[in-house]
Amino acid sequence: MMPDLGKYAVPVLGSYAAALGLLGVLVALSVWRFRRMRQALTEAEGRARMRDV
């Protein structure tokens, strides 16, 4: 099912691998930042509640 890439197989497949790797890194960083920000927001809300009581 894969097309014959001839002498360009290695660069083309390497480019695909690099692109997928970068997408994986971007997704992982986004998830990490989301969790960090959610934790910071939860802590800030907790401090605000303690101040209001």
Helices then strands, each counted (H, E), the chain: 1, 0
pLDDT value of residue 8: 93
34-49 burial, b at 16+ Cβ within 10 Å, e below that, comes to eeeeeeeeeeeeeeee
Q: Which amino acid is at 35?
A: R
Ranges under pLDDT 70 in the chain: 53
pTM of the entire predicted model: 0.72
What whole-number distance in Å separates Cα of residue 4 and Cα of residue 51?
Answer: 67
